[in-house]
Amino acid sequence: MSGLNMQDDPVEVSALDPAAIDQAVQNALAAFAGAGSLDELKAARTAHQGDKSPLALANRGIGALPPTAKAEAGKRVGKARGQVGAAVKERQAQLEADRDRRILVEESVDVTMIPARRPLGRRHPVELMGQRMADLMVGMGWEIAEGPEVEAEWFNFDALNFDIDHPARQMQDTFYVEPADSGLVLRTQTSPVQARAMLERGVPLYIACVGRVYRTDELDATHMPAFHQLEGLAVDEGLTMAHLKGTLDRLASELFGDDITTRLRPSFFPFTEPSAEMDLRCFVCRGSNPQCRSCSGTGWIEWGGCGMVNRNVLSACGVDPDRYSGFAFGMGIDRALQFRTGQSDMRELIEGDVRFGAQFGMEI
Amino acid sequence: MRVPVEWLREYVAVPKDARGVDVAASLVQVGLEEEGVHGGQVTGPLVVGKVLTLDPEPQKNGKTINWCSVDVGAANGTGEPQGIVCGAHNFQVDELVVVVLPGAELPGGFAISARKTYGHVSAGMICAADELGLPDDGSGGIIRLADLLPSADVKPGDDAIPLLGLDRETVEINVTPDRGYCFSLRGVAREYAHATGAEFTDPALDLAARAPASNEAGYEVRLEDDAPLRGNQGCDRYVARIVRGIDLTAATPAWLATRLTEAGMRPISLAVDVTNYVMLALGQPLHAFDVQTLQGPIVVRRARQGEKLKTLDDVERALYPEDLLITDGGDKALAIAGVMGGEDSEVTASTTDVLIESAHFDATTVARSSRRHKLPSEAARRFERGVDPQAAPAAAQLAVDLLVQLGGGNVDQGVTDVGAPPTPEAIELDPTLPSRLVGVDYSTDDVVGVLREIGCEVDTSGDALSVVPPSWRPDLHTAPDLVEEVARIKGYDRIPSILPTPPGGRGLTHGQRVRRVVADALAAQGLSEVWTAPFVSDERHVALGYDAEQARARTVRIANPLSEQQPLMRISVLSTLVDTLRRNISRGVKDVAIFELGLVLAREGEQQHALTSPVGVHPAPEVLDAIRAAVPPQPRHLAILLSGETEHAGWWGAGRPADWSDAVALVRSVGTALALEVSVRADDAMPFHPGRCACFALPDGTLVGHAGELHPKVCQALGLPARVVGAEIDVDVLIHASDQAVVSRPIATYPLVQSDVALVVDQSVTAAEVEAVLRSGAGDLLEQIVLFDTYQGDQVEDGKKSLAYRLSFRALDRTLTTQEVNTLRDRAVAAAGSATGAVQRT
Ligand SMILES: [Zn+2]
C-alpha cells in the first residue's frame, strides 16, 4: 500500500478504533520508509500527515465523540500523530543528509590542477637580507641611517682619515665624477654615512647603514661593480673592542646559527685603529675539516672589516676623542646572502632574472 | 708578498717540521693574511725509478701505451719491480725517471692508487713535470733525471721530493698598506718571531756593522729639493757605493734565481737580480747606474717644466714638476726617484762599473709620481708604504757583497751617505689606554713588554709612557697605533665578547617603513623586485626620448667608467630597468613583471665643486654646508615594467596581456597602500605613448610620476616587444606626503542605496574629470563611485562616448530614501553637465 494511493482515496478512520489508528500509523511509517527522495517524502507526508490524512480526520472526529470517550481517543490519536511526526522528521533528516552527501560528491574537483593565473611576485633576496640585518640592528637598539650614493670625497675619504696620498685611498677602486676636481665619487663604502650621522645626530650614537656601494670591478662570478654593505657605528663613553666583538657575534649567530661565532684578526683600515678583519666560523665544516673547500681548511671565512673608530674620524666629525670611543664595522650583505643560501655566482644577484628571486620566499 | 719558507728560515728560527700552512697560520695571528701556500703539494712516496722493461702495446683507440716494470728500490716495501702503465714515449729502458707510488697525492689533491687500466694493474705513475706542479722541463713527456739533473747522484728508491725541490714552499700573504716593512723577508721574519716567539736575527744588523762610514772619496751626491711636498724632503738619505770591474754576463746562481722566482720575480740579469734580491731581503729598493754613463755628480731635484725622460720600459715620458728626479750633474734626468730608471744610464751586460743607489724617498712624492705615470713598480710600492731609512747602508752593503761574490770586481773605498732622515717622534701613551680601548686587562708591564718587543724605545719614567717607534715602523704615529700593537701581539683572540647596551632606538624611520610597504605591495601583486647598476649612455637617453642635453644637465659623468659606453649616472630607474626586462625576455621568460626602487640623479643648476680637506680636522660649518650642497640631489624612484600577460592563460581560461591600465592601477595601489589620494590626468611625457600616459599628482599638485604604455619608438629603439607598459614615480614625494597619521572616520552601518547613471561626454573628456565633478556634486553622502561601463558606437553621437557610473550613497545616521538619493544623483549629474558638458543618457 502506497501513500500516493491513500492520497487519492482518503480513508475515514475512527478515533475510537485502536486497530484502525494503529493501521494508519503503520501505513504512514511504511510510506515514509518507502520514500526514496525528498519529493516522495513530501507526498507521503501530505497523505499521512496532511489535513486529509486518516489521522487528521480521526483527530477532527474526536470533537464529536461523547465526553467520556474523548480523553482516551485524544490520547490515542495524539500518540499516533506523535509517532508519525517523529518518523517523518527522522526520514526527512536522513534523506537530506543523503542529498547533501551526493551533491558534495558531485561537486568534487581535481584540486591538484594548480592554477597560475597571476603568480606572486618577490622581493629581491639581497633586499630581504639587508632588511633582516637592519631589523637585527634595530632590535639591539640601533637606528638605521642613510646617505647618498654619489658622495662628496670629503665624506667618503677625508672624514674617514683616508689621506689623499695614502695608498689605501688608491686601493679602493673608486669611480670618480668628472671633472677631476669635482670632489665627488660614487661611495666606495657605506662608511660616509658614519660621518654624516655623527655630524647630524651627535653622540652617543648607535647607527647602522644598509646601502649600495660601488667599486670599479668588472662583473664576474665573484665581483660586482655595485654591491651592498651593512655598516655599523657605535660611539659612546667606554666602548671597547669587546663590545665590537659582542655585536658581531650576535649578528653572526642570528644570521647563520647559534654555533657561528666571529674571529677578529689584525688588519688595517684608515678609519679604525686598532683595526681588525672579521672572520666567520665556516658554515660547512665548522672548523673541523682541514680539506674543506669552503674555507680552504682554515675553518674561517672572511666577512668584513672593523675596529675602533680612529681618533681622526671622531675629530673630523666634531666628537671629542678623549671623552668618547667608538667601534665600527662593515660587511657584505650579498656575501651574507651567499653564506646563508649557498648561492655562489654574484652575477645572479644583479642580473634581475625573475627566476632567481622566485626560488625564495618573502622571508630570507 | 710571496715568502719562500726556506729564505724565511735564514732570518728566523722556523721549527724544522713547520710546513707552509703552519707558517701562514702563525702570520695571520699578527695580521698578515694568508693568500695561499704554493709548492709542497706533493705528499707521499715520490721516488727515483729505473726502467727495467718497456713493452709498447697498441690499443684499439689508436694509442700505444707502454707497459713498464720499474725498479723503485725498497720504496714499495717489497723491492720487487713496480708494474706501471705509461702513455709517454720519450724514455727508454735503463733510464732514471720519477715514480709516484700508491698512497701519494699530487697537486690538486690527485690521490694515487693502484688501478686497472689497459688490461694491467698499474701501481703508480711515471711523472711529467706539470703533473708535479713543476715548470715545463722541455722533455715533451715524462721527466728523465739524466737530462733534468745531470749531476745528481741518485739511485732507484731515493726520495725525489727534495731532489726536485718539491718540499720547498712559498707562503703568499696580503700586506696591508700600513705595513710596508712586510714587503721584505726581514719584516716578515720579525712578525713571525712576534707571532711565535721564535728567535729572529735581523740581517740588517750585521750588514750595517760591516758597512763602512761615509767618506770624502765617495761619489758626489747633492740633495737639492727646492719644493718639498707637504713639508717632507723628497730624498732625506742617499747612500751610494761603487763596484768596478764586474762581469755582469755571469749567470745568476741557481739558489738566488730560485729565491727570486719563488718570491714572484723573474730572474733577468745579475745586476737586476741582485738589486731585486736585496729589495726582497731587506725591503730597501735599490737602483744600479752604469758609472761610465755618468758625467757629473748625482743631483736629486724636482723636475722642470718640459723635462722628459725615456724610462726603462722604453716610454718617453713628459715629467711633472712634482716628480723627483735623479739627475746627472743637475742637468740630465737619469731616473724618476723611487719609481723607475732611465734608459741612458741603464746597466747592461757590457757594464763593468756599477753605482748602487740605496736611498730613502718621500712616500708622498713617490706615490704621486707612480700614480701620475701609471708605474706601480715594486720600488714605488715599497716607498709609498714607507721604507726603513736606517736600512740604506745595510742594503747597499748586501748588494756590493753579492756583486763582488757573483760578478767579481772591486769595491770602491769611497762611500757616500748624505742626508739626515728625521728621527721618529716620541708618542705619549697612557699605559691604561690599551685596556680601555681593547677591553682586555693589560698591565703596564704587558704594554711596555710588547712595545719593546716590536722595537720601540720606551721611557717609563713619567706617568705616561714615552714611546719612540723603530725606524722600520713609520706607520706608528699615535697612541691608538700602539694600542693595536699591544692587542695584536697579545692576541686578538683574548678579546672577550660583550654586547653593548645602547640607550634605545626609535626603530625604522617612516621613510624606511614606506619603502618596505611599497615593495611588499608590488610583490604581492605579482611583480618581482630587481636592482640594476645605475650607469647609462647618452644613447640610452635618446632611445628613451629624453633630450640628451637636458638629461646630461641633470646628472654627473663618471671619469673612469667601467664601459666608455655608459659614463653617465641614470636620471630615471626605467633607463636601466629596461635592460633587465630585455634580459628576462631573451632568456625565454615571456611574461615579465618587475620593479626597482633606486636612487637617480636630479641635479639642478651647475655642478658644484665639493671641497676636500685634511684628515682629522673638523671643517667649519659653512665648509660642511658647502660640501653637502655640492652633492647633487638623489631622490629615490620606483620604476615598473610589465610585458606579456599579466594574467596567464591556462585550463581556467584565457590570459590577459598587461596594458596601460595595469601600470596605472599599480601606481594607484602604491598610493592606496600609503592612504594617499593620488590624482590621475592624461599627459604626454617620454618614454610613454602620448595617448596612453597617465600623470600622477598629490592633492597639492606635487608631481608623483607617470605610468602608461611605452612609446612605440622606445620599444623599437630598445629592442623591446610592442606594448610594454610601465611607470616611474618619485617615492620620496610619497614618503614625505604620508608622514601624517590618517584621521579615522566612523563607518556608516545603514543600508547602502545605489543609483546608476550613464553620461555622454566628448571623447576628449577624461573619466577622471567626470568622476571628480560627480564626487563633488554628489556630496559627502556618496560612499563609492565606480565606472562600470564605457561605450562608443551607434548609440551615441560621433566624437562622443558614454560613461556609466554606479553611485553608492550611505548616511551615518539614517537609511536614505530613494527620493534623497535621486536628488543627490541629479545634483551630481548637473555638476558634471556644467563642468564637462555631460548629458545624461536616457
Ligand atoms: Zn670549512
pLDDT tens, position by position, B769-782? 999 999 999 999 99
Q: How many other CB atoms are found less than 10 A from the CB of residue B689?
A: 19
pLDDT of residue B635: 98
Residue A5 within any structural domain of the chain: no
pLDDT of residue B339: 95
DSSP state for residue B653 in the 8-state scheme: B
- Report the mean per-residue pLDDT for chain B: 94
Least Cα distance to B183 among B334, B398, B2 occurs for: B2
Closest Cα in chain B to A361: B523
Q: Which residues 6+ apart lie within 8 Å of A67 measured at CB?
A: none
Residue the block writes with cell 701519494: B104
Contact B583 A351 (CB under 8 A): yes
pLDDT of residue A63: 81
Closest Cα in chain B to A358: B528
Q: Based on the domain organization, do A102 and A129 belong to the same domain?
A: no
pLDDT of residue B223: 96
Cα B578–Cα B579–Cα B584 angle in degrees, nearest 5: 100
Q: Is B706 helix (H, G, I), strand (E, B) or coil?
A: strand
The count of structural domains within chain A is 2
What confidence tens digit (pLDDT) does each residue in B605-650 have? 898 899 888 899 999 999 999 999 999 999 999 999 999 999 999 9
Tell me the helices (H) and strands (E) count for chain B, helix number first: 24, 41
Q: Which residues 6+ apart lie within 8 Å of B590 measured at CB?
A: B643, B644, B645
Closest Cα in chain A to B523: A121
- Cβ contact A340:A364 at 8 Å: yes
Q: Is the CB of residue A239 less than 8 Å away from at least one CB of chain B?
A: yes
Residue A114 within any structural domain of the chain: no
Specify the long-range contacts of residues A63-70, CB closer than 8 Å, at least 24 apart: A65/A15, A65/A16, A69/A16
C-alpha distances out from residue B104 to B22, B67, B125, B163, B531, Å: 21, 21, 10, 16, 49
- Cβ contact B607:B559 at 8 Å: no
Contact A315 B562 (CB under 8 A): no
Residue B135 has pLDDT above 80, yes or no: no
Residues of B in contact with A297 (CB under 8 A): 21
Q: Which domains does chain B have, with CATH numbers?
A: 2-40+169-201 (3.30.56.10), 46-163 (2.40.50.140), 207-418 (3.50.40.10), 427-491 (3.30.56.10), 510-600+635-738 (3.30.930.10), 753-840 (3.30.70.380)
pLDDT bucket at B140, cuts 50 / 70 / 90: confident
ipTM metric: 0.86
Query: Which stretch of A258-272, A305-319, B355-369, B460-474 has the lowest confidence by average pLDDT?
Result: A258-272
Q: Based on the domain organization, do A83 and A213 belong to the same domain?
A: no
Q: With the CA atoms of B305, B310, B315 and B319 taken in that order, what torsion angle do they form, in degrees rounded to the nearest 10?
A: -20
Helix (H) or strand (E) holding B651: none
Residue the block writes with cell 666577512: A303
Domain boundary among A106, A139, A168: A106
C-alpha distances out from residue A112 to A104, A107, A108, B230, B653, Å: 18, 15, 12, 77, 17
3-state secondary structure B660-680: HHHHHHHHHHHHHHCCCCCEE
CA atoms within 13 A on the CB side of A149: 27
Residue A113 within any structural domain of the chain: no
Q: How many other CB atoms are found less than 10 A from the CB of residue A139?
A: 12
Closest Cα in chain B to A241: B438
Q: How far is A99 from chain B (nearest CA, A)?
A: 29
What confidence tens digit (pLDDT) does each residue in B51-95 have? 999 999 998 888 899 999 999 998 888 889 999 999 999 999 999
What confidence tens digit (pLDDT) does each residue in B794-805 have? 888 899 999 999
Q: Prior bond to A179 cis, omega within 30?
A: yes
Q: Based on the domain organization, do A183 and A324 belong to the same domain?
A: yes
Q: Based on the domain organization, do A209 and A284 belong to the same domain?
A: yes
Q: With the CA atoms of B680, B682, B685 and B691 taken in that order, what torsion angle do they form, in degrees rounded to the nearest 10?
A: 140
Contact B557 A140 (CB under 8 A): no
Residue the block writes with cell 750633474: B329
pLDDT bucket at B450, cuts 50 / 70 / 90: very high
3-state helix, strand, coil in chain B (%, to 5): 30, 25, 45
Helix (H) or strand (E) holding B23: helix B20-29
Q: Based on the domain organization, do A102 and A168 belong to the same domain?
A: no
pLDDT of residue A200: 93
Q: Which residues 6+ apart lie within 8 Å of B811 measured at CB?
A: B748, B750, B781
3-state secondary structure chain A: CCHHHHHHCCCCCCCCCHHHHHHHHHHHHHHHHHCCCHHHHHHHHHHHHCCCCHHHHHHHHHCCCCHHHHHHHHHHHHHHHHHHHHHHHHHHHHHHHHHHHHHHHHCCCCCCCCCCCCCCCECCHHHHHHHHHHHHHHHCCCEEECCCCEEEHHHHCHHHCCCCCCHHHHCCCCCEECCCCCCEEECCCCCHHHHHHHHHHCCCEEEEEEEEEECCCCCECCECCEEEEEEEEEEECCCCHHHHHHHHHHHHHHHHCCCCCEEEEEEEECCEEEEEEEEEECCCCCCCCCCCCCCCCCCEEEEEEEEEECHHHHHHCCCCCCCCEEEEEEEEHHHHHHHHHCCCCCHHHHHCCHHHHCCCCCCC
- Cα separation, B380 vs B383, in Å, equals 5
pLDDT of residue A54: 85
Q: Based on the domain organization, do A182 and A307 belong to the same domain?
A: yes
Residue A111 within any structural domain of the chain: no
For residue A166, the domain's CATH number is: 3.30.930.10
Residue the block writes with cell 634581475: A352
Q: Are strands B82-86 and B120-122 parallel, antiparallel or unpaired?
A: unpaired
Residue A316 within any structural domain of the chain: yes
Task: Read off the amino acid at residue A143.
Answer: E
What confidence tens digit (pLDDT) does each residue in B264-281 have? 998 899 999 999 999 999
Q: With the CA atoms of B330, B334, B340 and B346 taken in that order, what torsion angle do they form, in degrees rounded to the nearest 10?
A: -160
Q: CB-CB: which of B502, B627, B634 is closest to A154? A: B627
Contact B631 A247 (CB under 8 A): no
Q: Based on the domain organization, do A283 and A135 belong to the same domain?
A: yes
Q: Based on the domain organization, do A244 and A303 belong to the same domain?
A: yes
pLDDT of residue A12: 64
Q: How many other CB atoms are found less than 10 A from the CB of residue B216?
A: 7
Residue A159 within any structural domain of the chain: yes
DSSP state for residue B536 in the 8-state scheme: E
Q: Based on the domain organization, do A97 and A131 belong to the same domain?
A: no
Contact A263 B492 (CB under 8 A): yes
Question: Chain-centre distance of CA B375, in angstroms?
Answer: 20
Cα A89–Cα A93–Cα A99 angle in degrees, nearest 5: 145
- Cβ contact B239:B369 at 8 Å: no
pLDDT of residue A66: 82
C-alpha distances out from residue B204 to A144, B278, B368, Å: 52, 11, 29
What confidence tens digit (pLDDT) does each residue in B244-258 have? 999 988 888 889 988
Q: Is B806 helix (H, G, I), strand (E, B) or coil?
A: strand
Which residues of chain A fall below pLDDT 50?
A: 1-8
Q: How far is A311 from chain B (nearest CA, A)?
A: 8
Helix (H) or strand (E) holding B791: strand B782-791
Residues of B in contact with A266 (CB under 8 A): 29-31, 484, 487-488, 492
What confidence tens digit (pLDDT) does each residue in B149-181 have? 887 788 999 999 888 888 889 999 999 988 999
Residues of A in contact with B31 (CB under 8 A): 265-268
Ranges of beta strands (E only) in B419-514 are: 427-429, 457-459, 465-468
Q: Which of residues 47-106 of A touch B (CB under 8 A)?
A: none
Residues of A in contact with B430 (CB under 8 A): none
- Cα separation, A283 vs A265, in Å, equals 18
Residue the block writes with cell 711633472: B320
**For the CA atoms of chain A, what is the radius of gyration?**
43
| B352-363 CB burial, b ≥16 within 10 A, e <16 | bbbbbbbbbbbb
What confidence tens digit (pLDDT) does each residue in B541-574 have? 999 999 999 999 999 999 999 999 999 999 999 9
C-alpha distances out from residue B676 to B514, B704, B808, Å: 12, 11, 22
Give the residue numbers spanning the domain of A43: 14-106
Cα B622–Cα B626–Cα B632 angle in degrees, nearest 5: 155
Tell me the Ramachandran region of residue B644: left when phi exceeds 0, alpha when psi lies from -120 to 50, beta otherwise: left
pLDDT of residue A3: 42
Residue A364 within any structural domain of the chain: no
Least Cα distance to B807 among B752, B734, B764 occurs for: B752
Residues of B in contact with A158 (CB under 8 A): 612-615
- Cβ contact B195:B27 at 8 Å: yes
Q: Based on the domain organization, do A246 and A333 belong to the same domain?
A: yes
Residue A84 within any structural domain of the chain: yes
Q: What is the pTM of this model?
A: 0.85
Q: Which residues 6+ apart lie within 8 Å of B674 measured at CB?
A: B514, B517, B518, B734, B737, B738
Question: Chain-centre distance of CA B711, in angstroms?
Answer: 39
Q: Based on the domain organization, do A169 and A310 belong to the same domain?
A: yes
Helix (H) or strand (E) holding B448: helix B444-453
Q: Prior bond to A204 cis, omega within 30?
A: yes
Q: How far is A259 from chain B (nearest CA, A)?
A: 14
Q: What percent of chain B has pLDDT over 70?
A: 100
- Which of B38, B536, B631, B670 is most worth mutating to test chain A (most A CB atoms within 10 A of its CB)? B631
Q: Using CA of residue A246, residue A248, residue A249, residue A251, what is the dihedral sign?
A: positive
Q: Based on the domain organization, do A220 and A319 belong to the same domain?
A: yes
- Cβ contact B569:B556 at 8 Å: yes
- Cβ contact A332:A190 at 8 Å: no
Q: How far is A130 from chain B (nearest CA, A)?
A: 11
Ligand 1 center from residue A301 Cα (angstroms): 8
Contact B562 A127 (CB under 8 A): no
Contact A123 B483 (CB under 8 A): no
Residue B217 has pLDDT above 90, yes or no: yes
Grid coordinates of B450: 710588547
pLDDT of residue A5: 47
Residues of B in contact with A260 (CB under 8 A): none
